[in-house]
Chains A and B, each alone.
Chain A
Amino acid sequence: MNNLKITIGLEVHCQLSTRAKMFCRCGTDYIGKGPNSLTCPVCLGLPGSLPVLNQRVLDLALQLALALGCRILPKVVFHRKNYFYPDLPKGYQVSQYDYPIGVNGSIDYALQGQRKSVRIKRVHVEEDAGKLVHEGMALMPDQSGVDFNRSGIPLAEIVTEPDIRSPEEARECLMMFRSLVRYLEVSDGNMEEGSLRCDANISLSRNPGEMGVKVEVKNMNSFRSVYRALSFEVERQKVLLHEGKEISQETRHWDEIKHVTVSSRGKEEAEDYRYFPDPDLLPFSIDEASLMNIREKLPELPLERKERFMLEYELTESEAGVLVSSKMLADFFEECLKELNKPKTVCNWITTEVLRNLKNLGKNINQSEITPKAFTELLRMIEKKEISGTIAKSVLEEMFTSGMNAREVISKRGISFISSEKELENIVVDVIENNPQSVADYLGGKQKAFNFLVGQVMRQTRGQASPEMVKNVLYKQLSAGG
């Protein structure tokens, strides 16, 4: 039973980062806004209203399709996908059918150091539907509330070929999609807020030469749930195959609380969307010059950047992976290197202390007060042994919360950090004079006594000297005295 072939394909929706909706001028910034406050006749589907394409939707979709290595189709045609549901006021969704933006691309990602590739079938754009609310307010059990703020927000849909072989691969591939859309700045790629959504098709087959029965899994709202839901499906289907039972072709929903997939009941007998070209939207050709322009402006993509970081800065795969997971963080890292060319040190501090502080504050690096200049100044002070690593950590924390630079934090706290060796020497001499027994023990060969003396010096300096420097000075003094 172990030689079952797992086949997974993904369907990823991401909300394109436009300020206005896809076919009207309503704003897209609906988080925290009252229901139906960002609406107009177009996105409410009122009779007689006419859609006009937001130019930026096309630009972003072209960037995405080009970055995925797709062939761009020369024509843009919008189709109506017809179905009845209360969140869809027009009775159809404007989408694309036989003329998607791009076809035949691929996305590469790495899993455990191995580079993998998944083919992309198509990238197309479509409008989002409204949002239904089933509870709250004074709703009767048989009623729902509709909010059309999301209606008409542009989405890009990316459909992969079934090239994925395990739930781990599916998760990694999806994370690469997120990195990619963030790098391109075409979407914020936030799964929790629904700006990145993923459905999957999965099948298991005993015969590696053929595909098994396809099951569609929906409602996976995080990378972890994608992994868990697909792992659950693998196990469920394995058991069924083992028992000699049939797997039925169906749609299943991931239950985040019970950690199971559940068959969606009431599947339409005929999913006929009756696609046809939208008569309200004129088809048009993509102009070659603007396509060239977009192609030239594509930024370095995450996988290339990761590999360059490993090569150029001698970072490990996981270090480079953490840095390139966000374009802002990778940019910050490279800005820092311009100030202080110590890739390993800068990387260590960013991947531990900087990320920890950002997480505590709930901010990203660009929203924080830290500049590459201020950050590297702090690192340089540690290098020069002006402050200890421990103090630097707490100074950095205050730099994050107050926006002050390192020297300002230090002088505000009254840390007269011990920078001169001379000053430290005086303290060391004092400690040596006051602890003759320990000095004798040390000279007699007891290493413990040395550590005790270091402790004494640190106490005298109230922790403001770097332990490294204390050890050096103490060693020098003891050797000289002995």
Chain B
Amino acid sequence: MAHLSRLEFTEQELETFFRDLNNILVHFEKLDTLDLSNVSPTSHITWTSPPVNPDQPVEWGREEEVMRAAPKVEDRYFIVPKIVDKQEG
């Protein structure tokens, strides 16, 4: 999981996370014992018509503020560490 999320941890941190995640899994195992065969999965509680946007562009106009807030900007690009081992479609 640390690899997938591209995070680096010390051995000690990993141990802590291992314990925490394990506790979470144990908790879910407890939930799994409930009989939910008559309950359908619920992701949202409302099923009304949500608001929609018309297909007309509106300029936000505050891009400069974002540029100023970014840690590093070059030629209006946000600069990030290079990652090349994954090419997502």
Contacts and interface: CB of A to CB of B under 8 A. Distances in A.
Nearest to B52: A55
Contact of A28 (B48, B57, B59, B85): B57
A145 B77 contact: yes
Given A28-B57, A141-B82, A277-B43, A35 B77 contact: yes
A76 to B, nearest CB: 9
Interface in A64-95: 77, 83-88
Given A39-B60, A39-B63, A279-B44, A145 B75 contact: yes
Contacts of A384: none
Contacts, number: 148
B53 A54 contact: yes
Interface string A270-292: 10100011010111110000000
Contacts of B6: 84
Given A39-B60, A52-B53, A282-B48, A144 B79 contact: yes
B86 A268 contact: yes
A86 B80 contact: yes
Contacts of B62: 40
B77 A25 contact: no
A44 B63 CA distance: 10
Contact of B74 (A19, A23, A138): A138
A282 B44 contact: yes
B49 interface: yes
Contact of A37 (B44, B76, B79, B83): B76
A148 B76 CA distance: 11
Highest count of chain A CB atoms <10 Å: which of B55, B62, B78: B55
Interface size classification for chain B: 35 or more
A36 B44 contact: no
B75 A265 contact: no
B46 interface: yes
Given A37-B63, A137-B75, A144-B81, A52 B87 contact: no
A218 B77 contact: no
Given A142-B82, A283-B43, A285-B47, A19 B56 contact: yes
A53 interface: yes
A375 B89 CA distance: 45
Contacts of A281: 50
Contacts of A11: 89
A53 B52 CA distance: 5
Contacts of A113: none
Contacts of A19: 55-57
Interface string A7-48: 000010100001110011111110000111101110010100
B31 interface: no
Contacts of A20: 53-58
B72 to A, nearest CB: 8
Contacts of A142: 81-82
Nearest to A197: B89
B59 A143 contact: no
B67 interface: yes
A244 interface: no
A143 B4 contact: no
A41 B67 CA distance: 12
A129 interface: yes
Nearest to B49: A284
B5 interface: yes
B64 to A, nearest CB: 10
Contacts of A214: none
A18 B86 contact: no
A283 B47 contact: yes
Highest count of chain A CB atoms <10 Å: which of B4, B66, B77, B82: B77
A270 B86 CA distance: 13
B8 interface: no
A270 B53 CA distance: 37
Contacts of A283: 43-44, 47
A143 B57 contact: no
B52 A54 contact: yes
Contact of A34 (B58, B76, B84): B76
10 cross-chain pairs, A with B, having the tightest CB-CB distances, nearest first: A145-B77, A266-B85, A27-B57, A277-B43, A40-B60, A56-B55, A25-B58, A282-B50, A86-B80, A55-B52
Given A18-B55, A19-B56, A147-B76, 10 more contacts: A25-B58, A39-B63, A84-B4, A142-B82, A143-B81, A145-B80, A148-B78, A218-B87, A218-B89, A285-B47
13 contacts: A20-B55, A25-B53, A26-B59, A36-B78, A37-B63, A55-B55, A85-B88, A141-B82, A144-B83, A148-B78, A268-B4, A282-B46, A282-B47
